[in-house]
């Protein structure tokens, strides 16, 4: 007896694609890959600071989608599961290679909003980026992940709690202390270099 395949919806959900992957449908896996590859890659790169490692983590993450499709909840979006796998893989990579975490340069663009940008301020902005990177390097690992997922990937506190498997209150606390530390480092540098720049860490 053969199982009849359900007709393809016009806009297939993550859950529908996951059910197809369970049946060995590589095209469905490819659709999930195209849907989430940028988010997975950026998260991995932000943690490992290595493009080749980020590519390896991207591939391994979707291999796990294929391998463990039967265990994935197809009633909810796939994103939180992917973020959780990506974060765990990325920190495993760091542990083996003893590399430290750093954010993408776009991280500063999410945290620092220039009110009056002038081309001659490029050098000062670069110094601010370096200051931010050093401040992020100094964060505890749990705070770093929260900063990446919230500011770089735009996840809510509830979504981050789901990804990391911790209470939402813990996420809020980690983000607060990380934000205060980053705010202090950036504002100190801003007073010295770029008094026109406004900062939004909310």
* CA pseudo-torsion sign 16, 19, 23, 24: positive
Q: Is there a contact between 31 and 15 (Cβ–Cβ < 8 Å)?
A: no
> Tokens for 59?
């591939």
List the pLDDT tens digit at each of the 202 positions of the chain: 444 556 777 788 999 999 999 999 999 999 999 999 998 998 888 777 788 889 999 999 999 999 999 999 999 899 989 998 998 898 887 665 543 444 444 555 555 544 444 555 556 666 767 777 777 777 777 888 888 788 777 788 888 888 777 899 999 999 988 888 888 877 776 666 555 544 455 5
Nearest to 141 by CA among 169, 111, 166: 166
- Domain-wise residue ranges, the chain: 14-97, 106-199
The pTM (predicted TM-score) of the whole model is 0.58
Class of domain 106-199: mainly alpha
User: For the structural domain made of 14-97, what CATH number should be given?
Assistant: 1.10.1740.10
């Amino acid at each position: 007896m053969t199982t009849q395949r359900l007709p393809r919806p016009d806009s297939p959900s993550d859950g529908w694609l996951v059910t197809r992957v369970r049946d060995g449908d590589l095209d469905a896996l490819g659709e999930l890959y195209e849907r989430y590859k940028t988010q997975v890659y950026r998260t991995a790169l932000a943690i490992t600071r290595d493009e080749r490692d980020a590519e390896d983590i991207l591939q391994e993450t979707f291999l796990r989608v294929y391998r463990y499709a039967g265990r994935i909840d197809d009633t909810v979006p796939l994103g939180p599961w992917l973020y959780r796998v990506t974060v765990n893989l990325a920190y495993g990579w760091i542990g083996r290679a003893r590399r430290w975490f750093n954010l993408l340069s776009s991280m500063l663009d999410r945290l620092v909003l220039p009110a009056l940008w002038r081309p001659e301020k490029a050098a000062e902005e670069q110094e601010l980026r370096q200051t931010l990177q050093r401040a992020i390097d100094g964060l505890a690992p749990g705070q770093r992940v929260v900063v990446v997922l919230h500011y770089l990937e735009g996840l809510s506190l509830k979504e981050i709690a789901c990804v990391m498997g911790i209470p939402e209150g813990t996420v809020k606390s980690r983000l607060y202390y990380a934000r205060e530390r980053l705010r202090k480092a950036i504002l100190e540098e801003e007073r010295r270099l770029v008094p026109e720049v406004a900062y939004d860490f909310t």
